[in-house]
C-alpha cells in the first residue's frame, strides 16, 4: 500500500494522512468526493465538523455524495438517495425505526444496526483537510461496494 500516491495538494502531509482538499473549499461546497488509495470516499462539512465516509452505501452501493443530511434523534445522518437508508455521519451506524412489541403501547423508535458504513479519520492542518488510509484489518459492510467501485472512474457528484 502506497500511502503517499494520492496527494494532489503538493503539501507536506501529517504522517500517514492523505490530502483531500482545502478547508475553505470544502466549507463552501459542504461536500466532496476524493480517492484514498483508489477507494472513493465522501467528505461532508456539516455544522462545523468534517466527516469522511465510504462514498458507496453499505446497502446496495448508492452514491451517498448525492444524499441529503437529516437530523435524526439528534444525530446528523446522511440519507442514501437510493432507498433512503440513514447513516450517522459521526459513527457510520445504520439507523432504523423499530418498535418493541413488548412495550405496553409500542411506538417506533430509532435504533442502531451497528456500524455499517466505514468512517475515515479526518483532520485539518494549516487550512488543509486530510484523511487517513483505512485500517483494513477491521471489516465493515460498505467495504464490499468500496472494492466493487474501486478505481471505477464513473462515480462522481
Ligand atoms: Fe443505499 Fe439502498 S443503496 S439505501
- Backbone phi and psi for residue 117, each to the nearest 5 degrees, phi listed first: -105, 130
Q: How far is the CA of 62 from the centre of ligand 1 (A)?
A: 5
- Specify the pLDDT at position 22: 97
Ligand 1, residues at Cβ distance < 6 Å:
57, 59-62, 80, 82-83, 85
Query: Tens-digit pLDDT profile for the chain (157 aa)?
Result: 444 444 454 556 777 899 999 999 999 999 999 999 899 999 999 999 999 999 999 999 999 999 999 999 999 999 999 999 999 999 999 999 999 888 898 899 999 999 999 999 999 999 999 999 999 999 999 999 999 999 765 544 4
**What is the number of the ligand 1 atom nearest to the C-alpha of 81?**
1
**What is the number of the ligand 1 atom nearest to the C-alpha of 62?**
3
- Specify the pLDDT at position 101: 87
How high is the ipTM of this complex? Answer: 0.99
**What is the number of the ligand 1 atom nearest to the C-alpha of 60?**
3
- Specify the pLDDT at position 110: 95
Look at the block and give the residue holding cell 456539516. Answer: 46
Q: What is the pTM of this model?
A: 0.86
Residue 25: left if φ>0, alpha if ψ -120 to 50, beta else—which one? alpha
Burial of 48 by CB count in 10 Å (0-12 exposed, 13-18 middle, 19+ buried)? exposed
Cell triple for 128: 488543509
CA 122 to centroid of chain Cα atoms: 10
Amino acid at each position: 500500500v502506497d500511502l503517499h500516491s494520492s496527494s494532489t495538494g503538493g503539501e507536506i502531509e501529517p504522517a500517514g494522512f492523505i490530502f483531500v482538499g482545502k478547508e475553505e473549499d470544502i466549507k463552501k461546497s459542504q461536500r466532496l468526493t476524493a480517492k484514498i488509495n483508489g477507494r472513493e470516499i465522501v467528505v461532508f462539512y456539516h455544522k462545523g465538523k468534517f466527516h469522511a465516509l465510504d462514498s458507496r452505501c453499505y446497502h446496495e452501493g448508492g452514491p451517498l455524495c448525492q444524499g441529503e443530511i437529516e437530523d435524526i434523534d439528534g444525530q446528523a445522518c446522511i440519507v442514501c438517495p437510493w432507498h433512503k437508508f440513514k447513516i450517522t455521519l459521526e459513527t457510520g451506524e445504520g439507523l432504523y425505526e423499530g418498535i418493541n412489541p413488548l412495550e405496553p403501547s409500542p411506538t417506533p423508535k430509532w435504533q442502531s444496526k451497528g456500524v455499517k458504513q466505514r468512517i475515515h479519520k479526518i483532520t485539518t492542518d494549516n487550512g488543509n483537510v486530510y484523511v487517513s488510509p483505512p485500517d483494513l484489518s477491521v471489516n465493515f459492510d460498505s467495504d464490499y461496494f468500496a472494492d466493487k467501485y474501486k478505481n471505477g472512474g464513473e462515480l462522481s457528484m
